[in-house]
Structure 1
Amino acid sequence: MVLWGFRWFRLFLNPFAKDSFEHISESDRRLYILERLEGAEFSEWSWVVVVAGVGFFTDAYAIFAINMVVPMLGIIYYPENGGVMPHNYDIALSVLTLGGSIIGQIGFGLAADIWGRRKMYGTELVITIAATLGVVMSSNGTEGSMSVIAWLLVWRFVLGIGIGADYPLSAVICSEFAPTRLRGKMLTAVFMCQPLGQLAATLVTLIATARQRNGIPSDATLTNCDAQCKMTMDSIWRWIIGVGVIPAVIALWFRLTIIESPRYTADVGRDTRKAASELDRYLLMQTAGSSATSVISNQAGQPLQRVSTDSGVAKGHISRTSSPIYNRPNTNHAPEEHFLEAPQLEAAEEAHTPPPPSWKDFKQYFWHDGNLRTLIATSFCWFCVDLPFYGLGMNSPKIITTIWYGENAPPTQIYSLITHNVWQSLIIVSLGAIIGSAITFVAIDKLGRRNIQINGFFWLFILFVVIGGSFNHLYDIGGTSAIIVLYILCQIFFNFGPNTTTYIMPAELFPTRYRGLCHGISAAFGKLGSVVAQLFLAYINYGHGINYQTINKWLPYSLLIFSLFMLLGLLTTLRLLPASETNPDTTPKTLEQWALGRPIPNTFATHPVSLFIARIYHALVDFLERIYLVLDSMIGGDEKERREEAKRRKEEMEVEMRRVEEVAGRRGSFRDDGGGERVPSPFVKGRLDGNGDGRLSPGQGR
């Protein structure tokens, strides 16, 4: 029996499992893989959540820690600018990080579909660790021999690539390992690491600042921080960023040694034997009388049979004539059966041999079968929610200070300024985000992904309109408490809404062969929205003195603009995302059922939008052909005549060839051309007769 401690602290595969699947048919192996994933125990599926979640925690920590660090960088390196980092540098740090994320999401999502999830999973975490250490070691060098901001920009861009890569990989791996009944909760738990990472960034800032408080004079301000003060601040910001490496290093070994996704190995790698064997070993089966060999196989190598409902066993139960497909001793050593429900089994049979990835299949699935609109919906919804989420989130210190103090002046002492920012962020941002994620974790399977997303978009639309419309009045009368409550509600409905569901749904709606790319594209559109928001808010100018420097004036107008995108996200969810997430018997759909795509094919290809795009395409082709003809008419006369003569000869030869084919067909005169094909005798190796010039001999074919 495997020790309980080893079940958690395993390095790669269970050394006690020595099962062989050579004699099992491919269809039975595939059913075993699905059955085994459905029967995973808590210690097995929770391990996947931990490994995926730790990386996501690190990513969120790295993204939002910069909010705490930028004020310190201004104090240390830009005293001539009043102790504030230049505006362009501040924006560049955020935009380059988010831009790198776009590259990582699409690039690693595609790579995960081509070369496998496992090969990419550890690689992106190595990039994140290396880039974080690079940020920590950035400096101006001796006597200004280097530029700290240049190094920060380079390493933050590389860090963004690693952060972006983790989005599709963590979601896809968690989704493909998860039992259907727990998939929503597992993906929610992984995404919940984002607000936890954000919370950790604020707590580490608070601890690091309090730990070195003696090095910061009580009267030190942004403009009079002495050498000792700057050295202390320099140490603090490097500790804040560097601590984010610790959880990543812990998770690195397990990411490098995790097995390939069984679904990927079976569907894309076309190797169900390897997938079943690795899964059998990785999920740590008990060794006493419960190995897969003793359960799945017997001496005769009988195929799996479906037990009829007349025998008293639930329809869809997979078993052998002697034993169920899989059983596992519990603590009382009594066998426990796991089985697929009938709809899940039918989906497994329908997806028995999914087509291999190819350009032809890609066009068929997304264009002709109409699944491109699902990808458009997931991408646009993510764009809509990330526009305000990162637009407000990555500017949170300035916005929160404005909301918290109103017309009152914030503290000017460095220590008080830092600690107040931390506490305000904890209360306004982290508290609401964690509450929202917790509600989603409880309600994800009861309400459904689509309903939660609709609910979130709706309430965010209402809240943005209310805050935007009442902000100036509340700000003038000192009603900051009401604004704080409304802002906390926004954070709740971000995570109990589209911020979580836009991460979950792309990991479920698409087939294994394209799941990584589709999730990466969807996430990249989200980060594109965050880049647009950063640039929009950074250089906004509404006129009448309302620009990025007057937060209390541009914030309400920006919230009203963001509310329009919440409405667009709501309408897109209602119109384009699949409505049904369960089977008629209320069991959740499996990944194999989602992989079948939309139930009615070809509707997208005949949709008015698609027809409009097709008309534009054909009009463009016709326009290019006309340009070609105009250019061709401008060519010299001799060249033009030569081309026309060649075209005329070709047409004459085609007419003669068709005539000879008709004659040969009537006579039934065929001969072998040596290539294994029966062709009319005049056309041996493409020749009409012996002269090979395409002309008929006298009397031939007549």
Structure 2
Amino acid sequence: MAKEQLQVLNALDVAKTQWYHFTAIIIAGMGFFTDAYDLFCIAMVTKLLGRIYYHVEGAEKPGTLPPNVSAAVNGVALCGTLAGQRFFGWLGDKMGRKRVYGMTLMLMVICSIASGLSYGHTPKTVMSTLCFFRFWLGFGIGGDYPLSATIMSEYANKKTRGAFIAAVFAMQGFGILAGGIFAIICSAAFNANFDAPTYKMPETARYTALVAKNARQAASDMSKVLQVEIEAEPQRAEPTANAFAMFSKEFMHRHGLHLLGTTSTWFLLDIAFYSQNLFQKDIFSAIGWIPPAETMNAIEEVYRIARAQTLIALCSTVPGYWFTVAFIDRIGRFAIQLMGFFFMTVFMFALAIPYDHWTHKDNRIGFVVIYALTFFFANFGPNATTFVVPAEIFPARFRSTCHGISAASGKLGAIVGAFGFLYLAQNKDKNKTDAGYPPGIGVKNSLLVLGVVNFLGILFTFLVPESNGRSLEEMSGENEEESETGTVELEQSSYNNRTVPVV
């Protein structure tokens, strides 16, 4: 039998949409805007770095980054992100969401500026400095994932929680778009001519009441946020059967499959998503949508790549995020994730199987349209839901940690995609590979591999429960009463509501 919920938490669950909800979206979302800008703008910068620092006098083609340098510049931030997600996710459950979120933002600001000011007397020292600061930039970005998701999930009401968390994540699309637009403006200008929001949010009520065990402070904080009077209640003792530890036998029984579902789907999604995002320029060059590098100067090449990536972001990436915001609380997380992986699989195979057909000049637009649809269904699909669900289905004292583990699994997939695709997509003929690269399996076979990865995402989605329309305490089982035998009754709890049977 479920016990009565704390009044302060019930007030949050049934609260009407108010200005503080949008304030929370903006505060948490600006971190994601910055994340996306910092992570994905490097794809446009690498071409310029190669021309500036690795140009060989008398060579027929412009300079390009050596394979090891390119892999390091593209992947080092992802390595930092993976570490940051694990560390700050754990720290957020120990010190509170607000304080640790502030730390991650400061780290991001400092390292973003430092990355732009990378220096050295030789190309090697410049790249080393850049990689050093991008690692710590990624470390800060990693902390933003679990903390922004947890903050938003714990502030949101039950009815529109999915849309609010998805709206925070959708700021990533604007970050990608801003990176492209800024690159277009700067490159066009060079080619032709030679008050931030204040951070005022109390600690989330669920952390204060359920983890810090201070229901009185939680009621006081939320009275100010919701602008209603919430009576402070005495702190209730937590049932002993609910006091299990992380990775204990009880945790694995209740949430083990859930954690496997969130980590595996995020891992598989990011292999495909980051491969496509970081190496759009190479795919567009391979089908001839962007002219050969030797036919353009450095600034013109950056301009053309930025224009292509901005077009994709504007027409497919950004709309996909906001379709999720609009429909996630209507059709649910599970349906959106399953649909997204399904269409990503279909479109990836549609690009890969008749690949030679798409390389002909008359068919390039068709390739770009289908390629853009894979981004649309990634964002109106698993790229959003893998961020939302881990913030909803785990107990408050583990929520940030479990989200961090899930997000770190995703970044591990991103590293696999970023480093793997860099080499796999090279031409099979060693005479046609980029300078310094060994022969790969070609773009066609690389797209086939990504199609298989997306199909595996469909299968692992069945491990993820549906959280639509239910409170965080219902999903995590934190509202369950302890019976006379000392066990917690599992009536209608999330861990008995899996989407696949447990043997």
TM over 0.5: yes
User: 1:136 offset after TM fit, Å?
Assistant: 1.4
1:163 to 127, 141, 144: 141
* CA distance 1:398–1:429, change in 2 (3 Å): farther
Q: Residue type matched to 2:128 in 1?
A: A
* CA distance 1:361–1:416, change in 2 (3 Å): closer
* CA distance 1:282–1:601, change in 2 (3 Å): closer
Q: What is the DSSP-based 3-state SS (H/G/I as helix, E as strand, rest coil) of the residue aligned with 2:347?
A: helix
Q: Alpha-carbon deviations, 1:597-622, whole Å to 9, x = none?
A: 54549999x966xxxxxxxxxxxxxx
User: 1:185 offset after TM fit, Å?
Assistant: 0.9
Q: Alpha-carbon deviations, 1:240-266, whole Å to 9, x = none?
A: xxxxxxxxx924x40xx4211110100
* CA distance 1:395–1:542, change in 2 (3 Å): closer
Q: What is the DSSP-based 3-state SS (H/G/I as helix, E as strand, rest coil) of the residue aligned with 2:354?
A: helix
Q: Residue type matched to 1:153 in 2?
A: C
Q: Alpha-carbon deviations, 1:302-355, whole Å to 9, x = none?
A: x99xxxxxxxxxxxxxxxxxxxxxxxxxxxxxxxxxxxxxxxxxxxxxx98466
**Given the alignment of the two structures, is residue 559 of structure 1 paired with residue 447 of structure 2, yes or no?**
yes
Unaligned runs of 5+ in 2: 478-492
**Given the alignment of the two structures, is residue 528 of structure 1 paired with residue 407 of structure 2, yes or no?**
no
User: 1:572 offset after TM fit, Å?
Assistant: 1.3
User: 1:541 offset after TM fit, Å?
Assistant: 7.8
Match of 1:438 in 2: 322
**Given the alignment of the two structures, is residue 271 of structure 1 paired with residue 156 of structure 2, yes or no?**
no
Q: What is the DSSP-based 3-state SS (H/G/I as helix, E as strand, rest coil) of the residue aligned with 1:420?
A: helix
1:593 to 467, 474, 477: 474
Q: What is the DSSP-based 3-state SS (H/G/I as helix, E as strand, rest coil) of the residue aligned with 1:270?
A: coil
Match of 1:487 in 2: 371
Please say if residues 121 and 166 of structure 1, whose CA atoms lie closer than 8 Å, have aligned partners that are also in contact.
yes
Q: Alpha-carbon deviations, 1:174-209, whole Å to 9, x = none?
A: 000001111111111111111110000011111122
**Given the alignment of the two structures, is residue 92 of structure 1 paired with residue 72 of structure 2, yes or no?**
yes
Q: Residue type matched to 1:212 in 2?
A: F
**Given the alignment of the two structures, is residue 59 of structure 1 paired with residue 35 of structure 2, yes or no?**
yes
Distance 1:455 1:170 in 2: 25
Distance 1:548 1:518 in 2: 41
**Given the alignment of the two structures, is residue 101 of structure 1 paired with residue 81 of structure 2, yes or no?**
yes
Q: Alpha-carbon deviations, 1:474-502, whole Å to 9, x = none?
A: 21464111101110111111101111111
How many residue pairs match? The answer is: 478
* CA distance 1:445–1:77, change in 2 (3 Å): same
* CA distance 1:601–1:59, change in 2 (3 Å): closer
Please say if residues 403 and 484 of structure 1, whose CA atoms lie closer than 8 Å, have aligned partners that are also in contact.
no
Distance 1:424 1:517 in 2: 37
1:571 to 446, 451, 459: 459
User: 1:473 offset after TM fit, Å?
Assistant: 2.3
User: 1:536 offset after TM fit, Å?
Assistant: 1.4
Please say if residues 453 and 497 of structure 1, whose CA atoms lie closer than 8 Å, have aligned partners that are also in contact.
yes
User: 1:555 offset after TM fit, Å?
Assistant: 1.4
* CA distance 1:127–1:542, change in 2 (3 Å): closer
Q: Residue type matched to 2:337 in 1?
A: Q
Match of 1:329 in 2: none
* CA distance 1:542–1:555, change in 2 (3 Å): closer
Distance 2:45 2:407 in 1: 26
Please say if residues 113 and 516 of structure 1, whose CA atoms lie closer than 8 Å, have aligned partners that are also in contact.
yes
Task: Tell me which moved more, 535-544 or 414-423.
Answer: 535-544
User: 1:434 offset after TM fit, Å?
Assistant: 1.1
1:472 to 341, 349, 356: 356
1:130 to 110, 116, 125: 110
Backbone CA RMSD of aligned residues: 3.2
Please say if residues 401 and 421 of structure 1, whose CA atoms lie closer than 8 Å, have aligned partners that are also in contact.
no
The 5-angstrom pairing of residues 178-327 of structure 1 reads 178-216=156-194, 250-251=196-197, 253-254=198-199, 257-283=200-226, 285=227, 292=229, 296=231
Q: What is the DSSP-based 3-state SS (H/G/I as helix, E as strand, rest coil) of the residue aligned with 2:359?
A: helix
Please say if residues 268 and 356 of structure 1, whose CA atoms lie closer than 8 Å, have aligned partners that are also in contact.
no
Q: What is the DSSP-based 3-state SS (H/G/I as helix, E as strand, rest coil) of the residue aligned with 2:202?
A: coil
Please say if residues 407 and 475 of structure 1, whose CA atoms lie closer than 8 Å, have aligned partners that are also in contact.
no
User: 1:422 offset after TM fit, Å?
Assistant: 1.6
User: 1:368 offset after TM fit, Å?
Assistant: 3.1
Q: Alpha-carbon deviations, 1:438-485, whole Å to 9, x = none?
A: 211211111110000000111111111111001112214641111011
Q: Residue type matched to 2:97 in 1?
A: R
User: 1:281 offset after TM fit, Å?
Assistant: 2.0
Please say if residues 86 and 404 of structure 2, whose CA atoms lie closer than 8 Å, have aligned partners that are also in contact.
yes
Please say if residues 402 and 552 of structure 1, whose CA atoms lie closer than 8 Å, have aligned partners that are also in contact.
no
**Given the alignment of the two structures, is residue 401 of structure 1 paired with residue 285 of structure 2, yes or no?**
yes
Match of 1:619 in 2: none
Q: Alpha-carbon deviations, 1:25-61, whole Å to 9, x = none?
A: xx99921342145325421111100000011100100
Q: What is the DSSP-based 3-state SS (H/G/I as helix, E as strand, rest coil) of the residue aligned with 2:64?
A: coil
The 5-angstrom pairing of residues 330-345 of structure 1 reads none
Which structure: larger Rg? 1
**TM-score scaled by length of structure 1:** 0.63
2:6 to 30, 34, 49: 30
**TM-score scaled by length of structure 2:** 0.87
* CA distance 1:543–1:388, change in 2 (3 Å): same
* CA distance 1:389–1:186, change in 2 (3 Å): same
User: 1:406 offset after TM fit, Å?
Assistant: 7.5
Please say if residues 187 and 300 of structure 2, whose CA atoms lie closer than 8 Å, have aligned partners that are also in contact.
no
**Given the alignment of the two structures, is residue 45 of structure 1 paired with residue 25 of structure 2, yes or no?**
no
* CA distance 1:364–1:98, change in 2 (3 Å): same
* CA distance 1:158–1:373, change in 2 (3 Å): same
User: 1:398 offset after TM fit, Å?
Assistant: 1.9
2:386 to 502, 515, 519: 502
* CA distance 1:521–1:38, change in 2 (3 Å): same
* CA distance 1:602–1:76, change in 2 (3 Å): closer
* CA distance 1:406–1:115, change in 2 (3 Å): closer
Match of 1:121 in 2: 101
* CA distance 1:430–1:91, change in 2 (3 Å): farther
2:265 to 381, 401, 406: 381
Distance 1:599 1:213 in 2: 59
Please say if residues 184 and 303 of structure 2, whose CA atoms lie closer than 8 Å, have aligned partners that are also in contact.
yes
User: 1:416 offset after TM fit, Å?
Assistant: 2.6
Match of 1:288 in 2: none
Please say if residues 108 and 141 of structure 2, whose CA atoms lie closer than 8 Å, have aligned partners that are also in contact.
yes
* CA distance 1:129–1:541, change in 2 (3 Å): closer
Q: Alpha-carbon deviations, 1:362-415, whole Å to 9, x = none?
A: 51442233x101100011000111001101211122222333528877841333
**Given the alignment of the two structures, is residue 456 of structure 1 paired with residue 340 of structure 2, yes or no?**
yes
The 5-angstrom pairing of residues 514-525 of structure 1 reads 514-525=398-409
* CA distance 1:477–1:354, change in 2 (3 Å): farther
**Identity of paired residues, percent?**
31
Task: Tell me which moved more, 394-403 or 163-172.
Answer: 394-403
**Given the alignment of the two structures, is residue 513 of structure 1 paired with residue 397 of structure 2, yes or no?**
yes
Unaligned runs of 5+ in 1: 1-26, 217-248, 286-290, 298-302, 305-350, 583-587, 609-702
Match of 2:253 in 1: 368
Please say if residues 509 and 595 of structure 1, whose CA atoms lie closer than 8 Å, have aligned partners that are also in contact.
yes
Distance 1:88 1:72 in 2: 16
Task: Tell me which moved more, 27-36 or 375-384.
Answer: 27-36
Distance 2:146 2:63 in 1: 39
* CA distance 1:113–1:365, change in 2 (3 Å): farther
